[in-house]
Amino acid sequence: MSEDALDAALRLVRAQTALVRRFDARLGGLHGVSLADFTLLLRLAQAPGARMRRVDLAEALGLTASGVTRGLAPLERIGLVTREPDARDARVAYAALTRTGRRRLTEMLATARETAAEIFAAPDWSPADLARLTSLLTRLGGTGLKGA
Amino acid sequence: MSEDALDAALRLVRAQTALVRRFDARLGGLHGVSLADFTLLLRLAQAPGARMRRVDLAEALGLTASGVTRGLAPLERIGLVTREPDARDARVAYAALTRTGRRRLTEMLATARETAAEIFAAPDWSPADLARLTSLLTRLGGTGLKGA
DNA sequence: GGCATAAACTTGAGCAGTCAAGGAGTCGGC
DNA sequence: GCCGACTCCTTGACTGCTCAAGTTTATGCC
């Protein structure tokens, strides 16, 4: 029944806000970044050479190009990311992780993993539950950190 | 492994933004409201007497009190919701669905259900999948439209 | 070469939410 | 009956995104 589908969708939305709040609190408190900042850095780190075109970053994060510009700005200011031009195409400005960016990210990653582990902690969550959730979410078009 | 937990969390966040965009487009196009507006109205409709204290509404929606104030304002302006004082306690201002609000909501509800049905359509999604997803999300603290 | 079209990015305006502070009202202790 | 502490709600300042418009550069066609 479509009522159930709507219920699922609404629950998903609700679950997300709770989850984001939790990550933001942890990451903000310990490292001074938001979850959005963290995911951005993480994507960058996963790219070959730890650099990406802003357009591709937007696509990967599910943001608009302008969202990326705005999100990157403060990270550039605090030196976690730099802007690199493309030799071939003067239109593109790569965003690249700096050495400090990389270092800081590994610290954040530890925090993020802890937080995630707390959220999905036993006994409520078994590894099988987690796998099922991931697989269901993947069908929804979400691209996680392990690829499509 | 905590990497899997983080992956699940990130996928959930990503899935939500896609989902919200889809609902916003449909609801906005047909009824001029956002998904946030719609959920607000829906909660109201489910409350006894189709009215709630703003504080409780905030709690139910996972927002702050000020978020509710701001979200309610435009809905009051367009006459879907009214503000009602409490006879006993002058601090509380109920938000109540108007007659038009109720009528408009049933139209929106149809659209929302359709949209949800499309998102969770067969053959990708079986009713069992949907039930599993809902049950997993519920553990995450999300309160759906069918109660805790 | 020169021009139209398109791509990558930035910028201004606006919207939806947050937090922190404050106004107004209630309630328990005395 | 009054004071202090608490609750409900709103407001101002800010953040993080969106969309629409504009700039700059590349590319294909002739």
**What pLDDT is attached to residue A123?**
81
* Helix count and strand count (H, E) for chain A: 6, 3
A144: pLDDT strictly greater than 70: no
State how far the Cα of A12 lies from the Cα of A124, in Å rounded to an integer.
Answer: 18
- CB nearest A2 (choices: B4, B39, B114): B114
> Which protein residue's Cα is closest to nucleotide D20 at C1'?
A66
Would you say the C-beta of B14 is within 7 Å of strand D? no
Residue lying closest to nucleotide D25, CA to C1': A91
Confidence of residue A75 (pLDDT cuts 50, 70, 90): very high
What average pLDDT score do residues A66-89 get?
94
Q: Which one is predicted more confidently, B143 or A146?
A: B143
pLDDT, mean of residues B45-71: 95
Using a CB-CB cut-off of 8 Å, the residues of chain A touching B14 are: 62, 141-144
Express as a percent the part of chain B with pLDDT over 70. Answer: 94
Q: What is the mean pLDDT of residues B69-95?
A: 94
Instruction: List residues bridging with A51 in a β-sheet.
Output: A96
Average pLDDT of the segment spanning A40-67: 95
Count how many Cα atoms sit within 13 Å of the Cα of residue A144 in the half-sphere of its side chain: 20
Whole-angstrom CA distances from A88 to A44, A51, A83, A92 are: 21, 16, 15, 9
pLDDT of residue A147: 46
Q: What pLDDT score does A137 carry? A: 92
Distance from CA of B95 to the nearest CA of A (A): 21
Contact B144, B138 (CB under 8 A): yes
Q: What is the pLDDT of residue B143?
A: 61
pLDDT in tens, B91-123: 999 999 999 999 999 999 999 999 999 999 878
Q: What are the tokens at A41?
A: 């850095």
Contact B6 A112 (CB under 8 A): yes
For B102, half-sphere exposure in the C-beta direction (CA atoms, 13 angstrom radius) is 10
Supply the pLDDT for residue A148.
Answer: 41
Query: Of B78-87, B117-126, B128-137, which gets the smallest average pLDDT?
Result: B117-126
Q: Report the mean per-residue pLDDT for chain B.
A: 91
- Counting every residue, how long is chain B? 148
A55 CB less than 7 Å from any atom of strand C: yes
Encoding tokens for residue B46?
């489910």
Task: Give residue B142's pLDDT band: very low, low, confident or very high (50, 70, 90).
Answer: low
| CB-based contact A130:B134 (threshold 8 Å) | no
Nearest CA in chain A to B16: A13
Tokens 């999604």, residue? B125
Q: What is the pLDDT of residues B9-20, one digit of tens each?
A: 999 999 999 999
**Which pLDDT score, from 0 to 100, does residue A142 have?**
55
A139 confidence band (pLDDT: 50, 70, 90): confident
Angstroms from A112 CA to nearest CA on chain B = 7
Interface check for B128 against chain A (CB to CB < 8 A): the answer is: no
Residue A119 clears pLDDT 60, i.e. is over it:
yes
Give the CA angle between residues A127, A40, A140 to the nearest 5°: 50
Say which of B4, B18, B120 has its CB closest to residue A5.
B120
pLDDT for A63: 94
Cβ within 8 Å, pair A139-B127: no
First CA to last CA across chain B, in angstroms? 29
Scanning A10-49 for CB atoms below 8 A from B yields: 10-20, 23, 35, 39
pLDDT(B73) > 90? yes
SS3 B17: helix
Q: With contact defined as beta carbons under 8 Å apart, do B34 and B28 qualify?
A: yes
Token pair of B59 as six digits: 């709690």
DSSP state of B64: -
Yes or no: say if A111 and B5 are a contact pair by the CB < 8 Å rule.
no
- pLDDT of B117: 94
Contact, B32 CB vs strand C, < 7 Å: no
Q: What residues in B contact A15, CB-CB < 8 Å?
A: 12, 16, 137, 140-142
Q: Is the CB of B26 less than 7 A from some atom of nucleic acid strand D?
A: no
Residues of A in contact with B119 (CB under 8 A): 5, 9, 140
Is the CB of residue A60 less than 8 Å from the CB of residue A51? no
